Copies of this chain bind each other. A is one copy, B any other.
């Protein structure tokens, strides 16, 4: 029995609210249990200098956490004067995940920045950010199609992410903070709806783990992302109707 009473392979309740950021071209507030991330996509008709004149677009991401999103208050990165290594690692991960499903050539000389800001944290913030960021990005790109900027959606697939880990209850899906902070190993899986792997990050927090254990975690991740893909699709459809 997990601390939360959830089954081994059960996600926390997932809720996605599109349009939370009023001004963004696309946005989504995603909640996974006690974790809450605001994802806002900004479209700009310019690209970073290394891409200028190459006829392709770019997708990037930034990540932040409000100082009191966590159990005890963390120092504000803006006050500290720099982003932590953890923050930079996460925002690079989110950006790679999104780029893996966007056709950058079809996007043309447009860049999209997705800001993922954690309002409340209870484990799994980077995975929630990726899952929510895809919705925000999709809505922003739909807008470019609707207003005639793009002839078709430059999206190659659907991406979502989930963490799994080895806890005292064995391998489990979607760790909350309590589980995450005591797991002997955990892994983040970024997967696509058609079965592809975009990114795997598995880390032994205490002792090395085995290949068999790793494969079990991947099975759990498949189960979890299947559910996330259904939710993303439903939300996007509903938002587009509105």
- Give residues in A with beta carbon < 8 Å to B: 20-24, 27, 34, 38, 40, 42, 44, 62, 64, 66-73, 76-89, 91-92, 96, 100, 113, 115, 117, 119-122, 157, 187, 191-192, 194-204, 206-211, 214, 218
Contacts and interface: CB of A to CB of B under 8 A. Distances in A.
A87 B22 CA distance: 21
A90 B22 CA distance: 23
Nearest to A209: B197
Nearest to A191: B208
B82 A85 contact: no
A198 B62 CA distance: 28
A71 B202 CA distance: 31
Contact of A79 (B62, B69, B218): B62
Contacts of A92: 85-86, 89
Given A38-B119, A88-B88, A196 B208 contact: yes
Nearest to A83: B78
A76 to B, nearest CB: 5
Contact of A23 (B22, B68, B200, B204): B68
6 contacts: A23-B70, A24-B68, A73-B113, A76-B115, A85-B85, A85-B92
Nearest to A66: B117
A200 B44 CA distance: 35
B78 A87 contact: yes
A230 to B, nearest CB: 19
Contact of A207 (B70, B83, B196, B202): B196
A123 B20 CA distance: 17
A203 to B, nearest CB: 5
A70 B198 CA distance: 27
Closest 7 CB pairs of A and B: A196-B208, A85-B88, A77-B78, A40-B68, A200-B202, A42-B73, A78-B78
Contact of A199 (B23, B78, B197, B203): B203
